[in-house]
Amino acid sequence: MPPFAEKPDGLVVIEPLKAFTCAGCGRDDDPLLRLEDEQPFCMTCADLDHLIFLAAGNTALTRRARKASTLSAIVIRWSRSRKRYERQGLLVERAALEAAEEQCLADADIRARRREREQVRRAEADLDFQAELAAEIRRLFPSCPRERAEAIAQHAGTRGSGRVGRSAAGRALEENAVTAAVVASIRHEDTEYDDLLMSGVPRQEARDQVRAAIDDVLAIWRA
Ligand SMILES: [Zn+2]
């Protein structure tokens, strides 16, 4: 990778100038990519698709959101004129961004921005599909808490995302696809996975390290 203007500490994600094909799943419509061993991966394959984009510009908000987010990634884009990568913003957890916004409420733009984001989320949500998906999660994992099943379904069933629940298999509520959505959620929420990624552990190695912890939660939820 060509030089970056600053020394990035943490994960780096690239907003490419041209469309790319994901080396993991083959999709070619993700606007962001992460390089792993020189290969481009989409945000879903890179396990970063639950993060939301915060554009650079508000320094206090960025600093606070990053601090509050277990997993975060810097988004950079190549500048043809300046011949270097430049920071576009940050991918952070929704909850972290909202906590940071609370701390910055003096900024009157924030409520408007949140409303806008919420409108986009609603517009993209396929509520019927999400309800079906949540019910299917509860059927396969009867001990998964109801709110958690709904949150997983909401994340997986957002229109236009490459997330598990939106794949053809997920639409048909195929069992493997539903389980994959549940596993992805457990990985981020109930294991050390995000901390491992942030500390620089390669994705496959981090996945291997948390596999047993995921299986434990799956066994509890299946009961
Ligand atoms: Zn992919």
Domain count, the chain: 2
CB atoms within 10 A of CB 23: 16
Q: Give the Å distance between the CA of 192 and the centre of ligand 1.
A: 22
Q: Give the Å distance between the CA of 19 and the centre of ligand 1.
A: 13
Q: Give the Å distance between the CA of 206 and the centre of ligand 1.
A: 17
Cα–Cα–Cα angle for 30, 36, 42, rounded to 5 degrees: 15
Residues 30, 78 share a domain: yes
Whether residue 85 lies inside any domain: the answer is: yes
Q: Which domain holds residue 27?
A: 11-92
In the block, tokens 């901390």 appear at 195
Residues 208, 164 share a domain: yes
Pairing of strands 34-36, 11-14: unpaired
Residues 141, 88 share a domain: no
Q: Give the Å distance between the CA of 163 and the centre of ligand 1.
A: 9
pTM of the model: 0.69
Q: Give the Å distance between the CA of 45 and the centre of ligand 1.
A: 4
Whether residue 87 lies inside any domain: the answer is: yes
Summarize pLDDT for 81-133 with one digit per residue, the tens.
Answer: 999 999 999 999 999 999 998 887 766 667 777 788 878 777 777 778 888 88
Residues 148, 66 share a domain: no
Summarize pLDDT for 44-54 with one digit per residue, the tens.
Answer: 999 999 999 99
Query: How many CA atoms within 13 Å lie on the side-chain side of 43?
Result: 24
